[in-house]
């Protein structure tokens, strides 16, 4: 556990963010290796199937993940106030919620999967493989929720190192099982999904055993879990706007993939690869933002609001430097990066085009996310939700639809940074008002 209420803000946030960043780099490294194996050993149709499944998976998980993020902020603020008993109650409440939510999502996802793929205009030749991958992955979502919920709790307590260790183990196991199931057992795309579920399940149960033996606050025992309605209401108040925001973001991703699907298998495969690179490139912004949210939560809980602005500026500087370096790398080596996933020249050309257009604007995405971290840490998630929805549904989706008719798939790529620009301008304007300071929960 790390107390973020004392010490120099910049180094403190950096030390807290780095383990999360490294952990997610490992996770994205797995996703990239996963796509390399699928693209080179199963085919571009399977690569397109995995890419088409991701927005739907994200849509099913987003509301629950958003609500769970509210619990993380509650934990951070109670921990900052040194109220350990309520920290424990929040943890119990979160796990009960995640358990029942994961069962519901698995049942609904498996039942409606094929209908959803057809609704999104996925080409017929891709649907069978997409359905196999999606059903296996969503069927094992309970262990994914368990592991990610545990990691979120630890981050709320200021511990970003322990989740890193288990994430590294999970990633390495995942890659090994991918190679075994695809190259040796010849299970195809089903093997890739099974490997993910096994690796995440192993990481979750290993973390449970380890934490039960070593941690002072966290102890998992189904008999001892108690649901606290008042704490859940606080978590909902903070987390529900984020969950709704994430749900609309997921719906936007589905709308975007529906537009992409209209351009055929090559564009779908290229989009699948390019968004994997996008996910890796955005890690610095997202993890520094998460670290900043915990920092803000603890300091507001400890009534040290004077440290918030200094933490925000330090975080913005650090994440922006990394973002510029990532953009330069992506722009210079875009052709070689896409070539790792496939040897199809048309897929490489389209993927390179995406990276050149979108990669030049990662700095805007970084600034937008950093500002959002301050607001989430303070418990203000409603206005950021509206800003996100405006950027996505008023700018990006209509922009992609209109520009794609004039510029082809290139128009879809240009709509992405357009949305980021609007999101950044609105977020910064709201930050300057200072109204987010009035949303503290304790």
The torsion region of residue 408 among left (phi > 0), alpha (psi -120 to 50) and beta comes to left
Mean pLDDT for 159-179 is 85
Reading the block at residue 289, the tokens are 């933002």
- Asked if the structure places residue 369 within a domain, the reply is yes
Tokens 């008999």, residue located: 223
**Nearest-angstrom CA–CA distance, 121 and 261:** 6
- Asked if the structure places residue 64 within a domain, the reply is yes
> What domain count does the chain have?
1
* 211 has a pLDDT exceeding 90: no
- 99 contacts 109 by C-beta, under 8 angstroms: no
Reading the block at residue 208, the tokens are 């449970």
What single-letter DSSP state applies at residue 184?
I
The HSE-up count of residue 117 (CA atoms within 13 Å, CB side) is 27
Residue 442: which pLDDT band, with cuts at 50, 70 and 90?
A: low
* Count of beta carbons in the 10 Å neighbourhood of residue 219: 14
Instruction: Give the distance between the most distant pair of CA atoms in the chain.
Output: 61
Alpha helices, DSSP H, located in 262-361: 265-281, 283-301, 306-339, 345-359
- Asked if the structure places residue 1 within a domain, the reply is no
* 85 has a pLDDT exceeding 70: yes
- Asked if the structure places residue 221 within a domain, the reply is yes
First to last CA, the chain: 21
- Asked if the structure places residue 98 within a domain, the reply is yes
Mean pLDDT for 209-221 is 77
Among 72, 67, 54, residue whose Cα is nearest residue 256? 54
pLDDT at 103: 94
> In Å, how far are 20, 189, 322, 326, 421 from 366, measured between CA atoms?
16, 33, 9, 11, 11
pLDDT at 288: 92
Residue 441: which pLDDT band, with cuts at 50, 70 and 90?
A: low
pLDDT above 70 covers what percent of the chain? 98
pLDDT at 106: 95
**Nearest-angstrom CA–CA distance, 182 and 177:** 8
Q: What long-range pairs does 427-436 form, CB within 8 A, spacing at least 24?
A: 427/368, 427/371, 427/372, 427/375, 427/384, 427/387, 428/367, 428/371, 430/375, 430/383, 430/384, 430/387, 431/371, 431/374, 431/375, 435/380, 435/383, 436/374, 436/375, 436/378, 436/380, 436/383
**Nearest-angstrom CA–CA distance, 143 and 203:** 9
- Asked if the structure places residue 289 within a domain, the reply is yes
Q: Which residue has the higher pLDDT, 84 or 354?
A: 354
- 197 contacts 143 by C-beta, under 8 angstroms: yes
Mean pLDDT for 427-436 is 88
pLDDT tens string 15-53: 888 887 887 787 777 777 778 888 888 888 888 888 888
* 438 has a pLDDT exceeding 80: no
- Asked if the structure places residue 232 within a domain, the reply is yes
Mean pLDDT for 343-349 is 91
**Nearest-angstrom CA–CA distance, 7 and 412:** 45
* 390 has a pLDDT exceeding 70: yes
* DSSP string over 109-156: HHHHHHHHHHHTT--TTTHHHHHHHHHHHHHTHHHHHHHHHHHHHHHH
Residue 33: which domain range?
9-439
**Nearest-angstrom CA–CA distance, 266 and 185:** 28
Among 287, 90, 91, residue whose Cα is nearest residue 208? 91
Name the phi and psi angles at 302, rounded to 5.
Answer: -90, 5
Reading the block at residue 344, the tokens are 């199809």
- Asked if the structure places residue 280 within a domain, the reply is yes
- 50 contacts 189 by C-beta, under 8 angstroms: yes
> For residues 106-117, b (16+ Cβ closer than 10 Å) or e, as one string?
beebeeebbebb
SS3 43: coil
Least confident of 13-22, 130-139, 189-198, 208-217: 208-217
SS3 228: coil
Reading the block at residue 381, the tokens are 């998630």
Least confident of 68-77, 118-127, 199-208, 396-405: 68-77
**Nearest-angstrom CA–CA distance, 225 and 93:** 8
Among 290, 364, 375, 278, residue whose Cα is nearest residue 320? 364
Average pLDDT value for the chain? 87
pTM score of the predicted model: 0.74
pLDDT at 297: 83
């Amino acid at each position: 556990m790390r107390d973020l209420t004392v010490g120099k803000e910049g180094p403190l946030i950096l030390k807290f963010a780095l383990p999360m960043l490294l952990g997610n780099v490992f996770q994205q490294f797995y996703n990239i290796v996963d796509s390399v194996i699928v693209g080179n050993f199963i085919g571009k149709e399977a690569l397109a199937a995995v890419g088409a499944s991701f927005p739907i998976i994200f849509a099913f998980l987003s509301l629950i993940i958003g609500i769970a993020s509210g619990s993380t902020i509650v934990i951070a603020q109670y921990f900052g106030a040194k109220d350990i008993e309520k920290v424990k109650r929040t943890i119990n409440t979160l796990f009960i919620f995640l358990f029942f939510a994961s069962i519901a999502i698995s049942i609904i996802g498996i039942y409606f999967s094929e209908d959803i793929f057809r609704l999104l205009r996925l080409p017929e030749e891709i649907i069978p493989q997409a359905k196999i991958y999606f059903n296996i992955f969503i069927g094992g979502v309970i262990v994914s929720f368990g592991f990610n919920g545990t990691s979120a709790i630890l981050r709320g307590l200021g511990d970003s190192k322990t989740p890193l260790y288990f994430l590294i183990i999970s990633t390495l196991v995942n890659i090994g099982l991918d190679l075994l199931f695809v190259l040796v057992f010849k299970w195809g795309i089903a093997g890739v999904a099974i490997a993910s579920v096994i690796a995440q399940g192993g990481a979750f149960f290993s973390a449970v055993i380890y934490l039960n033996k070593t941690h002072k606050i966290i102890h998992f025992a189904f008999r001892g879990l108690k649901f606290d309605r008042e704490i859940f209401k606080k978590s909902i108040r903070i987390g529900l706007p984020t969950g709704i925001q994430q749900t609309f973001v997921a719906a936007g991703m589905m709308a975007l993939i529906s537009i992409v699907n209209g351009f055929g298998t090559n564009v779908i495969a290229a989009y699948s690869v390019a968004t994997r690179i996008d996910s890796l490139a955005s890690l610095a912004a997202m993890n520094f933002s998460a670290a900043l949210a915990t920092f803000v939560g603890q300091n507001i809980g400890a009534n040290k609001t004077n440290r918030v602005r200094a933490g925000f500026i330090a975080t913005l500087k650090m994440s922006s430097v990394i973002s510029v370096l990532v953009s330069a790398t992506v722009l210079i080596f875009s052709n070689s990066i896409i070539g790792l996933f496939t040897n199809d020249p048309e897929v490489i050309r389209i993927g390179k085009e995406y990276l050149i257009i979108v990669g030049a604007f990662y700095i805007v995405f970084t600034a937008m996310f950093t500002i959002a971290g301050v607001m989430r840490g303070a418990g203000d998630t409603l206005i950021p939700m509206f800003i996100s929805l405006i950027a996505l549904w008023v700018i990006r989706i209509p922009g992609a639809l209109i520009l794609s008719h004039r510029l082809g798939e290139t128009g879809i790529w240009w709509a992405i940074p357009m949305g980021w620009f609007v999101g950044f301008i609105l977020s910064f304007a709201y930050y300057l008002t200072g109204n987010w300071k009035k949303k503290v929960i304790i």
